[in-house]
Structure 1
């Protein structure tokens, strides 16, 4: 004798069969068994769970082949059982295959394993994450900017990354880009000094047309880090050229946080500046100048750093010995014998 499945007929089927009997004109009725939903079946769990005995329940989701792991540990259960079930739940899911279980539900009473309780659980998972007042304010501002900018919005033009929205590095304020473009379009000496503002964007510190290497050191901040682009016309090379030099100045007296911040954005700022320079980027020196003392920056220092002259040896250097003056190799004495 086979056991019954426990599946009941629906009210819709009962009414349809009654109408078929009454009409006398219906020949066939096709009846199919359809799977119930997990939400509908949740209320059945209360019938199989004990008030004081913990249990694990594995429930299959309606879609795909994913499962829900329910850990039922009543508050009234024995302390030993609580500890035993708590220390075993990870072993259970790992042994059966953790990839099959996409969600967990922890219950301490039968009221936690009802359809209403499961609805609240799903709503909690889908709810937006809590945000601080500052995060809410920023989200509101971004939403307003996005709505004003339309579908192609990529952030305010006052704060954009020349390397692209997906590139690493600081955003550039518009005044910094304009100043560097003016340097690129000119023919004379020109200095653009950039700084990182409190919002961690690249901003314009100062732009000095006609700035020569002779006054470069005094044109940079003496106690704060800075990035600078110097346009320097010279006739050291043949033919003469207008060199554009990238300088990173980080005085030793700078705050540690500022030194770390500028150091992390050193290469990204150089690459972004290269993009802003456009066609003038061909004159950007590959060598970058770094200094911890802005006062040492002058024309001779720049020449040396860019390899445009031969370094001068100091007067204290020892001349190389001639081959005739070389002494024969003297074998060192070994350690003395112990007595």
Structure 2
């Protein structure tokens, strides 16, 4: 879920957008100045888009200062010439600048015209926005998204469960996958509705085992740095957290469901109940209008770092997956023996 800042293009920039439709402009740069989107520089077409690319773009990129760069390609669609949008947000920029440019991009695209934008790339280093960097992006965009390590583990677990299962009746399937549905208390329901409206960033729930219900433990607004300290070390819990971050030039707020189970510090009954109630509880949450981006399982709060959440929500693509290498045979095993067959 992306958010916008309310910053819009000034009048001169809006007029310039109209000039771009004529096809003579190759590239232009936009900055945020005085809470307005402002034209900073532009250059005309000289040659093909590939020959112009590095010559036109590199001089526009400043080391520590974010900006947007529109680059006109030579292809057309029903609207006219197609454009590449580059979000230049270097790692050396301040946090405020990163958030500001990330959350203003949606407005910029709308005012320029999304129908003209063919592709987008996000750059944090100069190499990202060169012609070779753009070509790498196009290659990676065609690659299938990989599974995260957690998803691979769950996939293997499901395979092993299916392979060991001997009863394939409809009843057994429902019992295995359906789980146990406990009702939520009114305070738990209200907190979920409040989170959907933006009142809270963090909710924690527990199963009241004797009463067979799910109750709210806490509802608050906390930073990611404080999230690990909220995870109990001696009991299981369900958590909902609004992860605020930037990714490829966009400011995002994603709801993450976290199931924390601190190993064998919990009783067998508690482990079984939390595991069985999880799927029905998630269905109840989503039916109340709260969209969950990612479901995680952890043992300790120390796992909840920004890098971990980023990798789970936005898994990196591996273009150079290593090929399987046949293991070498044992040393000094002697020459291979030949067998002779006779008719």
TM bucket by the smaller chain?
A: 0.3 to 0.5
Greater share of strand: 2
Structure-2-length-normalised TM-score: 0.39
Structure-1-length-normalised TM-score: 0.40
